[in-house]
Structure 1
């Protein structure tokens, strides 16, 4: 990633408004990542682009994702009414997920494949502890044809 990309991502994460088109452009400038490089617990946050998934995740009190192994993935870690974390399998369509290398926009990168839904979350590296994610799959694009983008930050013990 070049310095310009780093500065733009820092501004966006600090609250600057962003369009999906700008996130599409930034995606192209980031390096791909391998599935085994992203194992662990990650705190998630959505970019404010107006995509309907933003509201769904806010209602569910989405916290992030947990990649325990390549075949044991919890795509929707949420908070319950008491604030405790849990794997929201109901929202995830009744299942978990797994990690694969999948080509997206002509480039192979780490991808979370949902077990029970035709949905893929592709990842690229922002820095050693931060990933840019883009949701893809059947029924994911909004009415303007836009993908849902999010960021994951590695949770340190």
Structure 2
């Protein structure tokens, strides 16, 4: 079974998956260009819904290489807004784990997200927070 098929099945189940299971699949995925990632994406985590989500994370919006809204959240009424406490972000092509792919660099925090393509409408991100283990995987689906 391909890495893409396995990841799509994992996303559909909504269950928790350990980073050690996701890393080899992530490494098999193709890079994604900045142009391919532009737009609004709905996000999800591989935590099985067990971790609390105080900001009600919705996803990310990639407007251009130089301006991105890295945290879109939901209000109680269901509307989506850009959570700006961590600032905006920009995208650049970065080498990570042997491949050059679109990456998100936060303006106000030592955070980078490295993206790989599952399908044209689904991508996997790996969050890298300076000083913490690089093992936070998430998925985004184009809206």
TM over 0.5: yes
Q: In structure 2, what is the equivalent of residue 27 of structure 1? A: 26
The match for 1:14 is 12
Q: In the superposition, relative to structure 1, how do residues 108 and 49 fare at CA in structure 2: closer, same or farther (>3 Å)? A: farther
Q: Is the 8 A contact 1:65 1:75 kept in 2?
A: yes
CA gap 1:116/1:34 in 2 versus in 1, 3 angstroms: same
In the alignment, is residue 63 of structure 1 matched against residue 55 of structure 2?
A: no
Structure 2 residue matching 1:81: 3-state secondary structure: coil
Q: Look up the SS of the partner of 2:21 in the other structure.
A: helix
When you count helix as a share of all residues, which structure comes out higher? Answer: 1
Equivalent position of 1:150 in the other structure: 138
Report the equivalent of 1:131.
123
TM-score normalised according to structure 2 size: 0.91
Alpha-carbon deviations, 1:105-139, whole Å to 9, x = none?
Answer: 12211000000011100100000100000001313
4+ runs deviating over 2 angstroms: none
Q: Please list every run of 5 or more consecutive structure 2 residues that lacks an aligned counterpart in the other structure.
A: none
Q: 1:117 to 1:138 in 2, by over 3 A?
A: same
The residue number in structure 2 matching 1:121 is 113
Q: What is the DSSP-based 3-state SS (H/G/I as helix, E as strand, rest coil) of the residue aligned with 2:5?
A: helix
Over aligned residues, Cα RMSD in angstroms? Answer: 1.9
Q: Using the TM superposition, give the Cα deviation of residue 49 of structure 1 relative to its aligned residue in structure 2, in angstroms.
A: 7.0
How far apart are residue 31 of structure 1 and its match? 0.2
Q: How many positions carry a matched residue from both structures? A: 142
Q: How many Å separate the matches in 2 of 1:29 and 1:43?
A: 23
Q: Report SS of the residue matched to 1:31.
A: coil
